[in-house]
């Protein structure tokens, strides 16, 4: 070192070499970085007419529903959200796994609400994902006012897709809808009452009149998401069959269906071919498992159409549970298709892994202190004054307790708590959703996809495992549980963070049928989880803290 210090020419040469190496490294990193897509959204209230009557809706850049997010596997999405509502607001990204980054999940357990008149920039990466998903407002009862839109994640060009590129693809956001203002609906729940039956069903924000134009002889993709509040919907197209190709990020066996049950929170991608006579055809969506059937229609319009839509609206199943279970069991993974990566690291088959833990989650409805509540394993979730992820990150005590919800039904009377279940990073778990009620239910887990290995009527027992599909079960993020039935899933806990497990029936979620799963690694390495974002909003007991300088 002394020799170098005494030889300026050698020092200059060494510095020059270092500069070149740093430049090459920087160029490599820039070249290797995944693309960025930027979005700038203004959230406002505005007049909408989904059922033909004016009501207040949540608009994104003046649109209802909001704009589609178009992306490709591994893209970085920079979404600047300006909250121009008079109350706090959050967006969540249903099905986007937020790998190592639950801070960006956009639910109150992970992310501080955006104050009125302020903005927050979400930084998401659709890491190793493909498929059809959606975003929605997660606070209060905003979901009943709009603010939702579709998310398309396409495969990278070098990754083969198991079907030819369609001529075009369309997002279809379907869901039940209330003509009642969302604040009044929230008030009904806050006073401890149940919600009435919805007034209608929407297709892309309208009960009728939405038109999709196709050219005869061409094949088109439809991305169908149920963004509603509580009802399973059946989707069908007059005179046309649908070929299922993808479910929430998984390429499926390409089975043909005449109609498709889409449960709350679920997304499907199908192909249709415009191979019928050149005229207009009904697209029909109707409620399932309800005494009163609500139906909405849109139009599939052939560009060379010679006849307007005619004939009866095509009928679909109504209360038949066996029909729906049979269809659900027929949806399986396409084992010959590539995933988001050409050579997945650590490839394994879910059916060959030993289960390290069984979690049984039982839903219930009851009253607590004279008000309607819903629970999981007798615990009805009570939001804390600080997002749980922030409290965990800053090690703030008194906000929540890990283990405040048991692994199995306790048989206790329903009670309120900020329920958090602890789970070990890289464990492989079995979760059983047990439904003793007479309604169909829908469950979602943020941050993950899981294999739906079995579903049947009655009470789940260890003997039920004999009927599991351990070969080609579909992997998804939202699953239905039929009345007085069970659904079992397998899940690899490979994503560190604080993750929301919830009922997709939004009134039930709002009144406590949810909890958080804290997937924890004692190493606390940035290899396993990103540090708190430097632009993170800080609220509650985390207010006044600092995030990080870099």
- The per-residue DSSP string of 480-507 comes to EE-TTEEEEEEEE--S-EEEEEEESSHH
Is residue 397 over pLDDT 50?
yes
Q: In angstroms, rounded to a whole number, what is the distance separating the alpha carbons of residues 106 and 109?
A: 8
Give the dihedral of Cα atoms 402, 407, 408, 414; nearest 10 deg.
Answer: 20
Residue 415 has pLDDT above 90, yes or no: yes
Which pLDDT does position 339 carry in this prediction?
82
pLDDT at 33: 81
Q: Determine the average pLDDT of the residues in 395-406.
A: 97
- How far is 137 from 109, CA to CA, in rounded Å? 14
Residues of the chain above pLDDT 70, percent: 92
Q: Compute how many other C-beta atoms are within 10 angstroms of the C-beta atom of residue 530.
A: 18
What whole-number distance in Å separates Cα of residue 517 and Cα of residue 494?
13
Work out the pLDDT band at 340, boundaries 50, 70, 90.
confident
pLDDT confidence bin for 473, thresholds 50/70/90:
very high
pLDDT at 345 over 80: no
- pLDDT (mean) for 146-161: 95
How high is the pLDDT of residue 181? 97
pLDDT number for residue 22: 40
User: Across residues 499-513, what is the average pLDDT?
Assistant: 98
Other beta carbons within 10 angstroms of residue 23's beta carbon come to 10
Share of the chain above pLDDT 90, in %: 91
Calpha distance 9→13 (Å, rounded): 6
pTM of the model: 0.93
- Mean pLDDT is lowest, of 43-47, 202-206, 342-346, 510-514, for 342-346
Task: Indicate whether 367 pLDDT > 80.
Answer: yes
Q: What is the mean pLDDT of the chain?
A: 93
- At residue 425, the pLDDT reads 97
Range name among 15-29, 41-55, 168-182, 347-361 with the lowest pLDDT average = 15-29
Interval 266-324: pLDDT, tens? 999 999 999 999 999 999 999 999 999 999 999 999 999 999 999 999 999 999 999 99
Residues 6+ apart with CB under 8 A from 78: 36, 37, 38, 39, 121, 122, 123
Measured between alpha carbons, how far is 52 from 250 in angstroms, rounded to an integer?
37
- Asked whether residue 16 carries a pLDDT value surpassing 60, the answer given is no
| Cα separation, 516 vs 422, whole angstroms | 9
CA distance 304 to 316: 28
Give me the pLDDT at residue 19, please: 42
Of the pLDDT bands very low, low, confident and very high (cuts 50, 70, 90), residue 12 is: very low
Q: Which pLDDT tens digit goes with each residue over 29-58?
A: 333 589 999 999 999 999 999 999 999 999
pLDDT confidence band for 220 (50 / 70 / 90): very high
Closest residue by Cα to residue 391 from 258, 287, 163, 543: 543
Q: Which of 280-289, 500-509, 517-526 has the lowest mean pLDDT?
A: 517-526
Tell me which H or E stretch contains 9: helix 8-32
Task: Count CB neighbours of 26 within 10 A.
Answer: 10
Question: Under DSSP, is residue 58 helix (H, G, I), strand (E, B) or coil?
Answer: strand
What is the per-residue pLDDT across 195-219, written as a single tens digit (0 to 9) for each?
A: 999 999 999 999 999 999 999 999 9
pLDDT of residue 15 exceeding 50, the answer is no
Report d(CA 175, CA 505) in Å as an integer.
Answer: 12
Residue 111: is its pLDDT beyond 80?
yes
Q: What is the mean pLDDT of residues 431-456?
A: 98
Structure tokens belonging to residue 201: 């069903």
Residue with tokens 């892309």: 204
- Alpha-carbon distance 130 to 96, whole Å? 10
178 pLDDT above the threshold of 90: yes
Q: Which pair of tokens denotes residue 308? A: 């307007």
Distance between CA atoms of 282 and 315, rounded to whole angstroms? 11
Average pLDDT of 85-104? 98
Burial class of residue 74 (count of CB atoms within 10 Å of its CB; 0-12, 13-18, 19+): middle
Give Dmax (Cα) for the chain. Answer: 94
The pLDDT of residue 549: 54
3-state SS, residue 32: helix
Helix (H) or strand (E) holding 329: helix 321-330
For the stretch 243-278, pLDDT in tens is 999 999 999 999 999 999 999 999 999 999 999 999
pLDDT of residue 227: 98
Query: For residues 131 and 169, what is the distance between their CA atoms, to the nearest angstrom?
Result: 12
What is the distance, to the nearest Å, from the Cα of residue 91 to the centroid of all Cα atoms in its chain? 11
């Amino acid at each position: 070192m002394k020799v170098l210090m005494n030889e300026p020419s050698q020092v200059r040469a060494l510095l020059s070499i270092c500069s070149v190496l740093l430049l090459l490294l920087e160029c490599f990193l820039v070249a290797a970085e995944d693309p960025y897509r930027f979005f700038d959204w203004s959230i406002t209230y505005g007049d909408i007419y989904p059922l033909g009557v004016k009501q207040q809706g949540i608009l994104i850049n003046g649109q209802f529903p909001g704009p589609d997010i178009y992306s490709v596997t591994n893209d970085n999405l920079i979404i600047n959200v300006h909250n121009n509502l008079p109350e706090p607001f959050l967006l969540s990204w249903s099905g986007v796994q937020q790998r190592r980054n639950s801070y960006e999940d956009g639910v109150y357990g992970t992310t501080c609400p955006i104050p009125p008149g302020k903005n927050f920039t979400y930084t998401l990466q659709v890491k190793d994902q493909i498929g059809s998903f959606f975003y929605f407002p997660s606070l209060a009862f905003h979901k009943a006012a709009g603010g939702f839109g579709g998310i398309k994640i396409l495969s990278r060009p070098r990754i083969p897709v198991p079907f030819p590129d369609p001529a075009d693809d369309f997002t279809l956001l379907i869901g039940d809808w209330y003509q009642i203002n969302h604040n009044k609906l929230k008030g009904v729940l806050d006073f401890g009452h149940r919600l009435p039956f919805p007034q209608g069903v929407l297709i892309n924000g309208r009960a009728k009149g939405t038109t999709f134009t196709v050219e005869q002889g061409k094949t088109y993709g439809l991305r169908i998401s149920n963004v509603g509040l509580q009802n399973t919907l059946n989707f069908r197209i007059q005179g046309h069959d649908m070929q299922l190709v993808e479910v929430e990020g998984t390429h499926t066996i390409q089975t043909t269906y005449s109609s498709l049950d889409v449960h709350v929170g679920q997304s499907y991608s199908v192909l249709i071919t415009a191979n019928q006579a050149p005229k207009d055809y009904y697209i029909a969506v109707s409620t399932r498992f309800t005494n009163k059937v609500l139906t909405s229609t849109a139009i599939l319009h052939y560009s060379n159409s010679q006849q307007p839509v005619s004939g009866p609206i095509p009928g679909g199943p109504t209360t038949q549970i066996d029909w729906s279970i049979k269809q659900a069991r027929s949806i399986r993974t396409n084992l010959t298709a590539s995933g988001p990566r050409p050579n997945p690291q650590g490839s394994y088959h879910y059916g060959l892994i030993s289960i390290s833990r069984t979690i049984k989650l039982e839903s219930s409805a009851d009253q607590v202190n004279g008000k309607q509540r819903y629970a999981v394993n007798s615990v009805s979730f009570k939001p804390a004054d600080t997002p749980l992820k922030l409290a965990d990150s800053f090690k703030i005590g008194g906000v929540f307790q890990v283990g405040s919800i048991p692994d199995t039904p306790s048989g206790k009377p329903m009670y309120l708590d900020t329920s958090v279940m602890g789970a070990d990073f890289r464990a492989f778990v079995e979760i059983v959703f047990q439904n003793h009620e007479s309604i169909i239910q829908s469950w979602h887990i943020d941050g993950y996809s899981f294999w739906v290995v079995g579903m049947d009527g009655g009470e789940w027992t260890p003997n039920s495992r004999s009927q599991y599909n351990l070969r080609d079960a579909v992997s998804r993020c939202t699953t239905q549980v039929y009345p007085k039935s069970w659904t079992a899933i397998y899940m690899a806990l490979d994503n560190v963070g604080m993750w929301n497990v919830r009922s997709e029936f939004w009134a039930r979620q709002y009144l406590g049928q949810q909890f958080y799963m804290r997937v924890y690694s004692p190493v606390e390495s940035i290899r396993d989880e990103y540090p708190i974002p430097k632009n993170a909003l800080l609220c509650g007991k985390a207010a006044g803290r600092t995030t990080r300088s870099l």
